[in-house]
Amino acid sequence: MKLLAISGSPRKGGTYKVLNSMKEKFPDIDYEIISLKDMQLKDCYGCYTCINRGPEYCPLKDDRDIILKKMEEADGVVFATPTHTRHVSVLMKKFMDKLGYIAHRPYFFDKYALFIATCKGFGADMANEYMSSNIGQFGFNVVSTLDLYISTKSEAETQYNIEQTVQAFEKLISAIQIGERSKPTFNDLVYFHIFKAISELNKKEGIADYEYYKDKTDYYYDLKIPFYKNRFAKWVAGKEIKKFSENK
Ligand SMILES: Cc1cc2nc3c(=O)[nH]c(=O)nc-3n(C[C@H](O)[C@H](O)[C@H](O)COP(=O)(O)O)c2cc1C
């Protein structure tokens, strides 16, 4: 089993330490930590090329694909960030922007994810909600989110955080071993229909989305969805699309 942790901290501080302490707790697991601060990630300048044409046409050449390859090779990915002003760190946000096109064309359906946000007092829940809902859209089975409080740095606090992280890792490992895909939520169905409808509306410019969705009907992969649930999801998606196309 392969686990990859991606740390969005701009330093090797508390977030990294907690991730690193898992090495000795799970010695039999092939486990690697990537610190985004050590990777070259150029700022996305919003040209839409990755979304419209495909990530291979991105004009920014950097370490994006090195990280992506490691994510694809892992069974489970731990996304960790310090809370910065009640949000993910700038590095984590940059990383998410660079991979944002995957929310259009998700494919991590057989991978499992754990999200960790560290903080001193409050805001980790917001950072985790933001990170897990967005990266969850890449197709990941979201196993859990963990808010860690690193304020006193006392031995008791450190031990408590390590225990919490061990439990979260155990949950992740167990989900990988069971190997079931999580059931799509109603929102997942709505998102699917929104993106599929947009891919039709924007097929001239958005060739990559069009190619991805053109043969898909009810969901990203073969799945029996109750007829009325699917119709309702399509209806909600239609209303959402109407909302943002009314201004045109
Ligand atoms: C710029 C900045 C903003 C921060 N904002 C928050 C915050 O909104 N809420 C909070 O509880 N802690 C906040 N913190 C504290 C960090 O989240 C906390 O110390 C974290 O564990 C640091 O992780 P690191 O040691 O891996 O960098 C902030 C720290 C920095 C440097």
Domains, the chain, ranges and CATH? 2-178 (3.40.50.360), 186-245 (no CATH)
Residue 226, Cβ density class (10 Å: 0-12 exposed, 13-18 middle, ≥19 buried): exposed
Taking the CA of residue 10 as reference, the ligand 1 atom at the shortest distance is 27
Residue nearest (by alpha carbon) to ligand 1 atom 26 = 15
pLDDT (0 to 100) of residue 126: 98
Ligand 1 centroid, distance to 63 Cα (angstroms): 25
Ligand 1 centroid, distance to 84 Cα (angstroms): 5
Asked whether 18 lines ligand 1 (CB < 6 A), one says no
Ligand 1 centroid, distance to 86 Cα (angstroms): 8
- State the DSSP code for 11: S
Contact 71, 63 (CB under 8 A): no
User: In this structure, how many other beta carbons lie within 10 angstroms of the beta carbon of residue 84?
Assistant: 19
Mutate which of 11, 116, 120 to test ligand 1's pocket (most atoms within 8 Å of Cβ)? 120
Could you tell me the strand order of the sheet in which 141-149 lies? Answer: 30-35, 2-7, 76-82, 112-119, 141-149
Instruction: List phi, psi (to 5°) of 242.
Output: -60, -40
pLDDT (0 to 100) of residue 49: 97
Asked whether 104 lines ligand 1 (CB < 6 A), one says no
**Pairing assessment for the beta strands 2-7 and 76-82 based on DSSP bridges:** parallel
Asked whether 179 lines ligand 1 (CB < 6 A), one says no
Tokens 């392969």 sit at which residue?
A: 2
Asked whether 216 lines ligand 1 (CB < 6 A), one says no
Token pair recorded at residue 19: 């991730």
Token pair recorded at residue 4: 């990859």
pLDDT (0 to 100) of residue 243: 87
Whole-angstrom distance, CA of residue 85 vs CA of residue 178: 37
Asked whether 17 lines ligand 1 (CB < 6 A), one says no
Instruction: List phi, psi (to 5°) of 182.
Output: -75, 145
pLDDT (0 to 100) of residue 235: 96
Ligand 1 centroid, distance to 61 Cα (angstroms): 30
Ligand 1 centroid, distance to 119 Cα (angstroms): 5
Q: What length is written for the chain?
A: 248
Ligand 1 centroid, distance to 70 Cα (angstroms): 27
- State the DSSP code for 178: H
pLDDT (0 to 100) of residue 244: 80
Tokens 């686990």 sit at which residue?
A: 3
| pLDDT, mean of each 10-residue run, the chain (248 residues) | 98 97 98 98 96 97 98 98 98 98 98 98 97 97 98 93 98 98 94 96 96 96 93 95 80
Handedness of CA 192, 180, 6, 212 (dihedral sign): negative
> Taking the model in full, what pTM does it have?
0.96
Contact 149, 157 (CB under 8 A): yes
pLDDT (0 to 100) of residue 248: 64
First to last CA, the chain: 49
